[in-house]
Structure 1
Amino acid sequence: MSVPLPPRRRLAEPKGANRTLAVAGLVHALHDGYTDLIYVLLPIWQSEFGLSYSLLALLRGLYAGSMAALQVPSGRLAERVGARTLLACGTLLAALGYAFAGLSGGALGLCASLALSGAGSSVQHPIASAAVSRAFGDRARGPIGTYNFSGDLGKAALPGLTSLLVTLMPWRHALWLIAAIGLAAAAAVALMPRVRRGEAKSIERPIPEAGRGGFPMLCAIGALDTAARMGFLTFLPFMLQSRGATLPTVGAAFAAVFVGGAFGKFACGWLGARLGVVRTVLLTEGVTVALIVTAMALPLAPALILLPAVGVALNGTSSVLYGTVPELAPAARVESAFAVFYTGVIGAGALAPVLYGLIGDFGGWAWGMTAAAATALLTLPLVLLLSPLLSRR
């Protein structure tokens, strides 16, 4: 996930800057991997504890909800206790959450553990990205891109690793090993040079008169896009298992989706700069709906082949919407606009799986995934309504 950039300053020591980028990238990969690791574990927990779809979706929602609710406060807390200290503590907390999940004896323990881990992950985006930006100053554009890409690598690596581990050992032991990786990452934060503090200044950018008032609609489009993505990912393992997929196959499927998503962020950002926001979002959301429906109708092997393309469409819209936030930010308060936008987007990612879970309890995974596709379809009229509020780009 992309994040707003703080004021940039040049750093005279490139070695320290590179070390900052390496540690921030490592931590980003870990936290994003933790966030999407849950999808691989849902079928295991359903079998182990006899949980309904709505309870399974609640587990995912609690993680995302605690991460969304604390993302803005964590940035303020970093000013008091120090960014590096808070980043290490947050990473430690996220790892302990998964360790406690391995000790859980039911839904209540899992809920508490995942809420704890999500709270720990809330510190990563605002703090690590700010550290990279300050370290590289005017040269931060490339390093920030590397930092963002590292998160997608984590999304592909950790679910795949966990799906392999659970074939070799009990799932609880696998989670403890995954938690141990988090503890090592928390310790590695000590290698990051101390993040220098400075006054945060709003990024001023002129806003076209036509664009005023479009920011809430942009947030709504982002929320619906995220809700559709979370709904698809929540029911993907159950769709694959209904066609005979094993746990390693499910893990590989998620890796394929996330690798496709990483490419989608890059490709659709480039496409948006050439086709414009409206046409690009109409394209990506339309393709998302078509690919979800097609994947539901295909046998296992063709569906697996299609998943990287699904990942491109699922994640592509987010990069286009992110680049539009400064254009529609109220009163040129771009930093505050980013905070509101991503809090809303992550919050939608927390609530949507719960609603889809209720639909899944009523009609099974197919109904839940159909609801996710319908949600993506709802973005199309909103994008058309937003079109007059955007400047020509």
Structure 2
Amino acid sequence: MNGDDRRTVAVASFAHGLVHTYELTIPLLIPLWMSTFSADAATIGVVVTVGYGLFGVGALPSGILADRYDTRTLIAASAVGMGAGFGLLAFAPNLLVLTVGLLLWGGAASIYHPTGLSLLSRTVSERGRGLAVHGVAGNLGTAMGPLAVSVLLADLYWRYVAALLVVPGVLIGALTLVVHTDPTGREEVEREDGFRTDLSMASFLSSSKRLFERGFYVIFLLVVLEGLFYRGVLTFLPDVFETAAGSGAVFSGLLRDMSGYLYSGLLLVGVVGQYVGGWLVDRTDPVRGLILVFLCLAAVSTAFATVAADGSWSLVPLSVLLGVFLFGEQPLMQATVADHSSSDTRGLSYGYTYAGVFGIGALGATLAGYVLTRASVASLFAVLATVAVAAAVVSAYLRGRHDGSANTSVSLFNN
């Protein structure tokens, strides 16, 4: 890569890591919010769903913005907006202001993925290498950001930590604007057949209709189930670990103090899962891999339901397995979306994917909060196991549907 490419990849990578740092720091703050605002899990679950939901649903309009406006400016606005959202969280006197802060974060965060991927795909000459570095940065933000926050929370009040998180958003926003990158190709949005993309609402509706007529509704159902499981399991996981630590003599004391680090460690081993998932994409049918991974997630969730109430140390290896399978599923899903969408609707298919996983999937936070309030940790993981089994069934249906009409599918998805 030349100098401009390296700078472009660096700018996008820093912003990508920041998005996931903020996203997965929120679960660490949830137990503290419940205590500060005297709120139960069901109430906090609804509040968090609002922010996470906008993070996903906003991906579709953000994709349209990325095709019309300077992407560096949009990335800068995203970074600063996310920092401002956490600044509002730091000073929130009540749940209403906390909700507004999460909305500000979610709206700003929703800008990044369509915009950052658009910037890289249009301007970096070695696109594959650029996307790989970008993905690694996201994984590092997912793992190392919450770990750093866990360390800070051990010594600082949560409001101070939230205020400190304003700083990286402002710095990365400023860095994005001042670092020179080559803007070539950003102004013209081209189809693969060489014609300029029509960004009208009529074109959007027409492309959406064409996408779903080709069977994308099955994929969309699958990514929604993925999102429900992902958000349902991660949102209250630090609180789940604390609850488990207090429920049994085996898992108490030292391990209770380590609950935040256990959550961060789960995210860290997710990097390994991402690598393994990518390795499987190149060696097997991605849908077959999805069936296997969702069944494994169902098994791990069932095991969690069995041992969580006893506060057993077996939660540690189970957390490792959960991290590997949870994040190992993502490359398989991304490959599946690409395999089951045509070239002229590829970008739109990923827009719907993000809206399904992070938008509708945000309801997993509400679901988890409700179950934890009305029932128990074991009940939550039993529900999550059911969601994972449903995803495995839909994956099996997708594979059978594709195998049963292979010739037709080839003609449809390659035209």
Q: Is the 8 A contact 2:55 2:110 kept in 1?
A: yes
- Residue 172 of structure 2 is aligned to residue 185 of structure 1: yes
Structure 1 counterpart of 2:283: 274
What TM-score comes out, normalization by structure 1 length?
0.88
Alpha-carbon spacing, 1:218–1:158, altered in 2? closer, same or farther (3 Å): same
- Residue 72 of structure 2 is aligned to residue 71 of structure 1: no
Structure 1 counterpart of 2:148: 161
Aligned residue identity for 1:337: S
Q: Alignment partner of 2:181: what SS?
A: coil
Aligned residue identity for 1:217: V
Structure 2 counterpart of 1:95: 83
> How far apart are the structure 2 equivalents of 1:48 and 1:86?
34
Give percent identity, aligned residues only.
24
Alpha-carbon spacing, 1:107–1:156, altered in 2? closer, same or farther (3 Å): same
Q: Is the 8 A contact 1:214 1:386 kept in 2?
A: no
Alignment deviations for residues 32-56 of structure 1 (CA, whole Å, 9 cap, x no partner): 1101111100111111111111222
Alignment deviations for residues 108-152 of structure 1 (CA, whole Å, 9 cap, x no partner): 111110110111111111112222223322x21122011012111
Equivalenced residues, count:
374
Structure 1 counterpart of 2:134: 147
Structure 1 counterpart of 2:332: 320
Where does structure 1 lack aligned partners over 5 or more consecutive residues?
Answer: 1-12, 205-210
The residue correspondences of 1:240-259 to structure 2 (distance < 5 A) are 240-242=241-243, 243=245, 244=252, 249-259=258-268
Alignment deviations for residues 49-70 of structure 1 (CA, whole Å, 9 cap, x no partner): 1111122212321222111222
Q: Is the 8 A contact 1:281 1:320 kept in 2?
A: yes
RMSD: 2.3
Q: Is the 8 A contact 1:288 1:376 kept in 2?
A: yes
Aligned residue identity for 1:292: S
Structure 2 counterpart of 1:385: 397
The residue correspondences of 1:161-240 to structure 2 (distance < 5 A) are 161-190=148-177, 191-196=179-184, 197-203=186-192, 213-240=214-241
Q: Alignment partner of 2:283: what SS?
A: helix
Structure 2 counterpart of 1:289: 298
> How far apart are the structure 2 equivalents of 1:184 and 1:246?
35
Structure 2 counterpart of 1:39: 27
> How far apart are the structure 2 equivalents of 1:307 and 1:106?
33
Alpha-carbon spacing, 1:98–1:365, altered in 2? closer, same or farther (3 Å): same
- Residue 341 of structure 2 is aligned to residue 329 of structure 1: yes
- Worse overlay, 312-321 or 31-40: 312-321
> How far apart are the structure 2 equivalents of 1:26 and 1:220?
31
* Deviation (angstroms), 1:383: 1.5
Q: Alignment partner of 1:230: what SS?
A: helix
* Deviation (angstroms), 1:269: 2.6
Which structure would you say has the larger Rg? 2
Structure 1 counterpart of 2:206: none
- Residue 124 of structure 2 is aligned to residue 136 of structure 1: yes
Q: Is the 8 A contact 2:142 2:267 kept in 1?
A: yes
Alignment deviations for residues 359-389 of structure 1 (CA, whole Å, 9 cap, x no partner): 2221033322321221111112212211133
Q: Is the 8 A contact 1:202 1:334 kept in 2?
A: no
Structure 2 counterpart of 1:302: 314
Aligned residue identity for 1:287: C
Q: Is the 8 A contact 2:123 2:182 kept in 1?
A: no
- Residue 79 of structure 2 is aligned to residue 83 of structure 1: no
Q: Is the 8 A contact 1:40 1:250 kept in 2?
A: no
* Deviation (angstroms), 1:221: 1.1
* Deviation (angstroms), 1:79: 4.4
Alpha-carbon spacing, 1:265–1:194, altered in 2? closer, same or farther (3 Å): same
> How far apart are the structure 2 equivalents of 1:82 and 1:40?
34
Q: Is the 8 A contact 1:63 1:117 kept in 2?
A: yes
* Deviation (angstroms), 1:203: 4.6
* Deviation (angstroms), 1:247: 7.4
* Deviation (angstroms), 1:282: 1.5
Q: Is the 8 A contact 1:239 1:366 kept in 2?
A: no
Aligned residue identity for 2:372: G
Structure 1 counterpart of 2:204: none
Aligned residue identity for 2:237: L
> How far apart are the structure 2 equivalents of 1:291 and 1:308?
10
Q: Is the 8 A contact 1:84 1:192 kept in 2?
A: no
Q: Alignment partner of 2:275: what SS?
A: helix
Alpha-carbon spacing, 1:235–1:170, altered in 2? closer, same or farther (3 Å): closer
> How far apart are the structure 2 equivalents of 1:166 and 1:133?
38
Alpha-carbon spacing, 1:78–1:54, altered in 2? closer, same or farther (3 Å): same
Aligned residue identity for 1:195: P
Where does structure 2 lack aligned partners over 5 or more consecutive residues?
Answer: 194-211, 246-251, 411-415
- Worse overlay, 20-29 or 121-130: 121-130
Alpha-carbon spacing, 1:189–1:302, altered in 2? closer, same or farther (3 Å): same
> How far apart are the structure 2 equivalents of 1:192 and 1:127?
17
> How far apart are the structure 2 equivalents of 1:143 and 1:344?
26
